[in-house]
A and B are shown apart, each in its own frame.
Chain A
Amino acid sequence: MSKFISRKDLLSWLEGVSSEKDLVAPVQVEGRLLFRRTGDVSEIVLDYTNTDLSPREFFFPATETLFTVDKSNGRAELEPTRVERDTVIFGMRPCDAKGMAALALPYLQDPADSLFAQHRERTAIVGLSCLKACPECFCTSMGTGPDDAANVDILLTEAADGYMVEVMTDKGKALMPDSLLSEAKADKPAPAQVPLVPAEGISARLREAFDDIYWSRLADRCLHCNVCSYVCPTCYCFDIRDYSEKGGAVRVRTWESCQSPGFTKAAGGHNPRADKGTRLRQRFAHKLLYYPEEFGTSHCTGCGRCVKACPVNIDIREIIGDVQKLGKAN
């Protein structure tokens, strides 16, 4: 039988969490719904489809100092950044939870990225099932689903006056002890009906369509504005620079995008993806071909944010359908 927590008890539990750890939850910021650190439980939004930006910044921050070099006492001492606090992310949708797991595959591959590993170790994810689909989402075609509990520590599903609770991991158990929960009196509500896209066999079709003029034509309208990769839960490319600062230096890592013209420019000026079509193809081939080949799972989670945010309606759902036909035509 499922467990249950009343809305009131959930809010006081969140209050308790926020006094001990960094609590991150969906909050309205000037008309946008964003994951933000908050100490004020009353500002947490509980009724929403999904946030405008993904929660990836809490595992892979937009900007992070990797280490500092202290030269103040005559020797160069390298001090790696350490993650000092525990974080609890509340209200993550299953698609985004799958996204955080997808980030972990490359980042925790040997040699593991130490900062990412620390963020992941010190963060607990409280997921929230989707009872309503976003107009743009398609998670069930991308290896997850509206009530997928596989990548969260605790999964909540909204029910009358409270939430059904599924505690999935030891981390979750430590965070939400059994004593807070009662036996559920009703069945778990049915998850959202999510529209399907024809993704079966898409990797092979993409390889067949690699040299098609389709990519160049699609790129006609692409602005290479990077929005798709910045709102994406799983895009993990970055830029790194070193800066001199008083008494030493820092190495800084920031988000970057494969869509920006300079991204693949190499020393000597060669740019293997100098034109817009090959850059655009790279994004979709990484999501649906290269990453799945390497890690055995889709790199798109079907959250639909890129569809919603693209200023010129480049729609991965449509591209999947188009490429299925292109592949077959060849």
Chain B
Amino acid sequence: MSQIENVHTKARELLESQAVDCVIGFGKGTTGGSRPLFVYGPEGVEDLIFDETCAHNLAKYLLNRKGKTTAVVLKACDARAVNLLLSEHQIERDKVYMIGVVCPGIKENGEPRDTCLRCGQRTPVSYDYLAGEPEEATVDAELQYKGVAEMEAMSMAERKAFWEAQFDRCIRCYACRQVCPGCYCDECFVERLDPLWVGIRIAPSENEMWNAMRAFHLTGRCIGCDQCERVCPVGIPLSLLNRKLEKEVYETFGYEAGMDPEAAPPFATYKKEESLGFGE
């Protein structure tokens, strides 16, 4: 059976047995691509599709379904997002059924996403059921930190000018945050009034503060799905910022977010022997 037929069979089985209330997968969209699809009964499972237009990270939706049983169709990056949420105790493992799919690499307007070219995974690291045949990806090592090395080669003044020019066109719609599986605070710092962290102006200084603080909050937590960059209506290269920080975390702690739900996240861990840098 094909991968999608396996997804249909598994989804039907889970809904019929009432093991889950809902299956979140991909369905056909209106503009030639796909879109997230919520299936609540076995009669809807045939509408589930999976192809190279299925760019969305469906793990985000699990945050809206706390306490309810949900099966979710997961590509490799999306499965890492589920692991991130598990490691941060945002969702319960026994409420989530992970239907893994082997990802062909996602295309946008017929071209492979940069994200997918540098992704070392076609098969999810975690799943309850794998619908396809496991596959290794061929990764272009040069692409892994594409743009990061160039950014590191810039002087501080050049870097500042580069990011100022990018953040200048930010309209603070917060789509990057809304789509991000790692952004789930009840009250985001940017909307907090007391204390006021960032003013409401959509202007260079505030835009820079917003984008920089969001990047720091994601450090060691970004799973590299690049949904933020995909949805940004003004094309800010947010992935570049996140990959720079992930590179730092990897080089310092050897940690990659979402690879292992049991691994302790570096910024949520304290070891007694760690130096606090207070000259002790």
Contacts and interface: CB of A to CB of B under 8 A. Distances in A.
A303 B166 CA distance: 26
Contacts of B29: 313, 315
A227 B201 contact: no
Interface string A34-68: 10000000000000000011000000001100000
Interface residues of B, number: 34
Contact of B33 (A223, A260, A313, A318): A313
Contacts of B234: 29, 32, 34, 52-53
Given A221-B35, A221-B36, A241-B199, A312 B235 contact: no
Contacts of A217: 38
A307 B31 contact: yes
B60 A63 contact: no
A317 B30 CA distance: 9
A214 interface: no
Interface of B: 29-31, 33-38, 56, 60-61, 64, 166, 169, 171-175, 178-179, 191, 199-203, 227, 230-231, 233-235
B30 A315 contact: yes
Interface stretch (A185-193, A204-212, A251-259): A251-259
Interface in A62-91: 62-63
A227 B235 CA distance: 13
Nearest 6 Cβ contacts at the A-B interface: A225-B175, A313-B35, A225-B178, A313-B29, A62-B202, A311-B231
A135 B234 CA distance: 20
**Contact-residue bracket for chain A:** 35 or more
22 contacts: A30-B235, A32-B234, A52-B234, A53-B234, A62-B172, A135-B31, A136-B31, A221-B35, A225-B231, A227-B173, A227-B233, A230-B173, A230-B233, A231-B233, A241-B200, A252-B201, A255-B202, A260-B174, A262-B191, A308-B31, A312-B56, A315-B30
Interface string A8-33: 00000000000000000000011110
Given A252-B201, A262-B191, A313-B35, A29 B230 contact: no
Interface of A: 29-32, 34, 52-53, 62-63, 135-136, 217, 220-221, 223-227, 230-231, 239, 241, 243, 252, 254-255, 257, 260, 262, 276, 307-309, 311-313, 315, 317-318
A214 B112 CA distance: 34
Contacts of A231: 233
B202 A225 contact: no
B86 to A, nearest CB: 21
B201 A224 contact: no
Contacts of B61: 220-221
| SS of A interface (majority) | mixed
Given A32-B235, A220-B38, A255-B202, A226 B175 contact: yes
Nearest to A256: B200
B201 A311 contact: no
Given A252-B201, A311-B230, 11 more contacts: A29-B169, A32-B234, A34-B234, A220-B64, A223-B175, A227-B231, A227-B233, A230-B233, A241-B199, A260-B174, A311-B231
A243 B235 contact: no
Nearest to A307: B31
B35 A312 contact: yes
Contact of A252 (B56, B179, B200): B200
A254 B233 contact: no
A307 B227 CA distance: 18
Contact of B171 (A230, A252, A315, A317): A230
Nearest to B36: A221
B202 A227 contact: no
Contact of A309 (B38, B56, B178, B233): B233
Given A53-B234, A225-B178, A315-B30, A255 B36 contact: no
B217 to A, nearest CB: 17
Given A63-B203, A230-B233, A262-B191, A224 B178 contact: yes
A34 B173 contact: no
A117 B230 CA distance: 37
A149 B130 CA distance: 57
B30 A31 contact: no
B178 A226 contact: yes
A225 B177 CA distance: 8
B173 A225 contact: yes
Contacts of A318: 30
A104 to B, nearest CB: 22
A227 B169 contact: no
Nearest to B40: A217
A31 B235 contact: yes
